[in-house]
Amino acid sequence: MVILTFSLIAISIVATLSFFQGAYSGNGWLGGLGLVLISLLIYRGPAKFKYDTEGEVMNLSTEDQIWGKILRSFERQYEFPKRKFKGYKLEGWFLRRKLTIYINSRSGTVKERTLIVSHLTAEQRKKLTNSLNKYSQIAKHGGRRKRTTE
């Protein structure tokens, strides 16, 4: 929030000073820096990630108070029964992490859903992976379905 505020102030100062004739023109980098910081905040993704695995249903959601109103991809919520949770993949690259979850559907296909989880710390990611491993069919059965009849 602080970075966004300073970025917007920097951009507005440059925009305001550009209207005055004879104004100091060497501060163009200030507006550019503000734009870079805002772009970085958007690239990192939503600021909040919540998950709840209590009960029979698993809830995963992301939200952002600022960008959620503008960018719909920042407001995601997935709710599904734990028995349909097939597996997950946690990918990370420069300043951005993505959680992909795989859910078994009624038609027998596997649905893929993606959430951006860049703001999680290493400890939070470890807790998340431990929790998801508990319910993952791939982790339980090595990717094979559990046989119910012999």
Residue 40 shares a structural domain with residue 54:
no
Over range 41-53, report the average pLDDT: 86
26, 94: one domain: no
Measured CA to CA, the distance from residue 51 to residue 36 in angstroms comes to 31
Question: pLDDT, tens digit, for every residue of 80-132?
Answer: 998 899 999 999 888 889 999 999 998 989 999 999 898 888 899 999 999 89
Residue 149 lies in a domain: no
Based on the domain organization, do 29 and 66 belong to the same domain?
A: no
Q: Is the pTM of this model over 0.75?
A: no
- Look at residue 17 and tell me whether its pLDDT is greater than 80: no
Query: What is residue 92's three-state secondary structure?
Result: strand
d(CA 64, CA 150): 49
Query: Which band of pLDDT confidence, cut at 50, 70 and 90, is reported for residue 70?
Result: confident
Confidence of residue 35 (pLDDT cuts 50, 70, 90): confident
Q: Is 4 exposed, middle or buried (0-12, 13-18, 19+ CB in 10 A)?
A: middle
Are 6 and 22 within one domain? yes
Containing structural domain, residue 106: 48-141
Q: Which amino acid is at 60?
A: L
Both 65 and 133 in one domain: the answer is: yes
51, 74 contact by CB (below 8 A): no
Predicted pLDDT of residue 1: 61
DSSP 28-82: HHHHHHHHHHHHHHHHH--SEEEEE--TTEEEEEEE-TTGGGT-GGG-EEEEEEG
What CATH number is given to the structural domain containing 135?
A: 2.30.29
The verdict on 28 and 66 lying in the same domain is no
**Count of domains observed in the chain:** 2
Residue 87 lies in a domain: yes
9 in any annotated domain: yes
On the question of pLDDT at 144 being above 60, the answer is no
